[in-house]
Structures are given as structure tokens and as C-alpha cells.
Amino acid sequence: MKKTYIAVAIAAAAVVVGYGGVKQVSYQDHVRVGIENLVEQLNDTTILGEQFDVTVKSQQGGLMSSSGVILLNDSNTRRPTEFQVEYRVNHGLATLLAGPSYTAKITNPVMKGNDEKTITSLVLDGQPVVVEGYMKGDSIDGEMIIPNIDFAENGSALTVKPIAVEFSVDSFDEEGRPENFELTANMPKFMLKERHSVIGLSGGKLFMNNSFDGEEGEGQATIEIAEASIEGVSIKSFGIDIASKVDDEFTTSLAVNLGRLEGEGQSLSDGELKYKISGLDGKAVVKLLEVAQDGARYGWSDREIKQAAEGVMNERADQLLAQNPQFELQSFQFKQNGVDIINASGVAKLDAEKLPEHYIQDGLKSRRGPNPQALMNAAFVDFSASFGKEAKDLVGMFNPMVGAMLEQNGDQFTFKLEKGQMTMNGDKI
């Protein structure tokens, strides 16, 4: 079974209700036209790597409500997979204050040409994925419920308690894509059993928000897990937070936190990784993001995406570095069995004015690539770290020379690059 199909159907339902909620004046007309425009767009779009033939099976409009059924069939005509989205928009007088309400139910009636065994019947116990909520003007909010999953086959089993996803979106463009959105997903319990392994998760949460008008904006994504277990390894309190902002400058930050990881008699705790990247040119980054988005939307091959990205780099690489990029490692630390094993921090900066004119563009055209010495002369690096015995032994396993250096210089390690000269623990390299 292709997991992509579930995501495709959910995405389609979200867009369906989104189109239905845009600029409601004559509700039934806008729902009808919105659905027709959506179908036309989806037929010209690759969704998560899959091409679908989208059609309107039925459509009814009235003064109080509008409803219909949309079919999504993949491009495999010999053994097609079909999804059905049944929608209803209530737009009577009672909705004037709260806004029109909507419901979309997603089912999978045919899977690879088989209408007896489908995702809905096998995995979701015959229950639909339901999306429902309210619309106001140029905005929509609601909740998506993925029903209880209880599936077993060939020695494998999957159990997932109902997943609730709350969302709000607004400021749709002509193609139905929102400028702003916010999403919170809660996964109470997940359990996957294979023949020789078990993966369990509880207290999972995903939060995302984004505000981007095509030229500037900001966004954040947070993942939290209360407890997890994988083949005898247990994890408690794990989280990832990513935040980005783009205007004239692009900045992004990452924070990873680990409460405790235990397995095979060892324990890692109090783990933290935090860094920030700043000083990249915002417009150049947006251009690279557009390449990635177009590639995903139109199903470009890896080669086509690479060629498009190289075209952007050839045109804008020096612009990308013009605002003096900087990488700041704010914290990297862990404890093993209650004892510190690593604590590191540092910064790497680039002074773009010290680079030769058209440094990146000329380097990309040269067979030898950009001159590394010119880059070293323009860079400033200052990192320091303290290592426990366990960390030094681990480094020595992968790089004996570095491991021997750590043993020789004690627990402290420093590296500095300034004016083209490198020093390690105060000694020139």
C-alpha cells in the first residue's frame, strides 16, 4: 500500500474546503465554481509525486447548502486506486455570524483495482477521514480526524489512536493556496509491531505556522514526543523546534532537546543542540525555494531540480553571500550516565567584502572551483569544546589521529581561523 495515497486524499480535502470558503458572496455559485477550478488545477498538478485524474462525480447546490462528490484516480489505468471526497457546505441564514460550516469525508473505495481490500476497509475499519469546520470571508478553520487505525497482516500490526489535526488558513491566492496557515496535530498513541521489532510512541504533537506572501514572511515547526521506544531503546521527552524568517535577510534556527535516552545499559540525558544561521540574502533564498516548490508541484525529476538550482546559483550565488553569512553553534551538550561527555559552542562568519569580485560565479565556471584560500582569508571561525572520556574514545574509534590529539591536549579543544591562519589549541596548523 502506498502511504502517499492517504496524504494525497487529505490534502485534496483540505483544498476542497479551502476553495469553498473563499470570498463567499453567493455561496452556492462560489462553491460550484471553486470546485470546478480546483478539479482543473489538480489535473495539471503532481501531488506528492503522484499524478491523479480528478473528476466531479456529482454536485448539488441550493439556498441552504451545497454538496457533492469528487473522485481522485491515480494514473495507473490497469490497476487504479481511487479516493472519494464527499463534501457538504451549509450556508443558510443561521451561518451569517459563525460563517458557513463544511464537512468533507474521505474514503478509499478502490485500491489497486481491488474494491474489497482498501485502506478504508483494512486500516480504518471502514471509517472515513473527516474534515470539518467553519469559513469566514477569506479564511477557514477546522479539524481533521483520522479515525482509529487497527491493522494486522503477515506478522505485522499497526495500532494508532485517533489523530486530531486543528488548522486555520487565510488569504488565499487565485490558485487556492493560503498565505497564512497554522496547524496543530495530536497523536495520542502509535504502535508498530514487526516480526522482530516494536516501535511505540505516545504523546506526539506537531505544531506548524507559516506566514509568507511569496516574497517575505516567517514560519515555525515544532515536534514534541513524550515517550518513545524502538527495539529496546526508550526515549523520554524529545523535541525539535525549527524557525525561519525571510525578508531582505534569511535567518533560520534549530533547537533539539532530549530528556533521556536509555538502552543496553547506557543512558544519555540532558541533550541539547541549538544553532542559528543568518546573513543569507533573502531574495536569493526565495528563488531557491521557488525551484523546490515548482519541482514538487510539477513532478520534476531530480536532474531537472538540480539543473534549475544550479541556474539560480550561477545567477545569484554572490548575492546569496553578500550580507555576511554567519553560523552560530549556541549549544551542543550531552550527559552519559549522569556525567558530561561533550559541551561545545562557537561561531563561523564570512566577511563577503574580502572575497574577490564574482567569487562564487567565477568559481562555478572554473574547473578547479572557487579558490579555497580566498575563502579562508575572508572567514572567521572560533569553536571550543570540552570532552569527557567516553566522547574521546568514540572520536578515536572513527578518527584515531583526532582521538590521540584529544588525549594529548586534555579535555579542552579549541579551533580558530582568522586572517587565513588556523590554530588548534593555540598552536598554528
Q: Which residue has the cell 469528487?
A: 70
Residue-wise DSSP of 46-71: EETTEEEEEEEEEEEE-SSEEEEEEE
Residue-wise DSSP of 97-141: TT--EEEEEEEEEEBTTBSSS-HHHHTSTTPPEEEEEEEETTEEE
Identity at 324, one-letter amino acid code? N
Q: Which residue has the cell 574577490?
A: 356
What is the Cα–Cα distance from 68 to 28, expressed in whole angstroms? 12
Identity at 118, one-letter amino acid code? T
Q: Which pLDDT score, from 0 to 100, does residue 153 have?
A: 82
In contact, 138 and 156? CB cutoff 8 Å: no
Radius of gyration of the chain, Cα coordinates, nearest whole angstrom:
27
Q: Which pLDDT score, from 0 to 100, does residue 364 have?
A: 77
User: Which of 367, 350, 348, 366 lies closest to 358 in space, CA to CA?
Assistant: 366
Q: Which pLDDT score, from 0 to 100, does residue 77 have?
A: 67
Please list, in sequence order, all residues whose beta carbon lies within 8 angstroms of the beta carbon of residue 38, skipping any fewer than 6 positions away. 15, 16, 19, 54, 176
Quote the cell numbers at residue 64. 441552504
pTM: 0.79
Distances (CA, A) of 150 to 160, 183, 366: 7, 25, 58
User: Which of 268, 266, 287, 261 lies closest to 340 in space, CA to CA?
Assistant: 268
Q: Which pLDDT score, from 0 to 100, does residue 202 have?
A: 95
In contact, 111 and 124? CB cutoff 8 Å: no
Q: Which pLDDT score, from 0 to 100, does residue 183 have?
A: 92
Q: Which pLDDT score, from 0 to 100, does residue 95 have?
A: 64
Q: What is the pLDDT along the chain (429 residues), one digit of tens a residue?
A: 444 544 554 454 444 444 444 333 456 676 777 777 778 777 776 665 667 788 889 888 777 788 899 998 886 667 788 899 999 988 766 666 667 888 999 999 988 878 888 889 988 989 999 999 887 767 788 999 999 998 888 888 999 999 999 999 887 766 666 788 899 999 999 999 987 789 999 999 999 999 988 788 999 999 999 999 988 899 999 999 999 999 999 999 999 999 999 987 778 899 999 999 999 988 888 888 888 878 877 778 888 888 888 888 778 878 888 889 999 999 999 988 888 888 999 999 999 999 998 888 888 778 787 888 999 999 999 999 988 877 777 666 667 776 777 677 667 888 999 998 999 888 887
Please list, in sequence order, all residues whose beta carbon lies within 8 angstroms of the beta carbon of residue 382, skipping any fewer than 6 positions away. 346, 347, 348, 414, 415, 416, 417, 418
Residue 169 exposed, middle or buried by CB count within 10 Å (0-12, 13-18, 19+):
buried
**Model confidence pLDDT, tens digit, residues 268-295:** 899 999 999 999 988 888 888 888 878 8
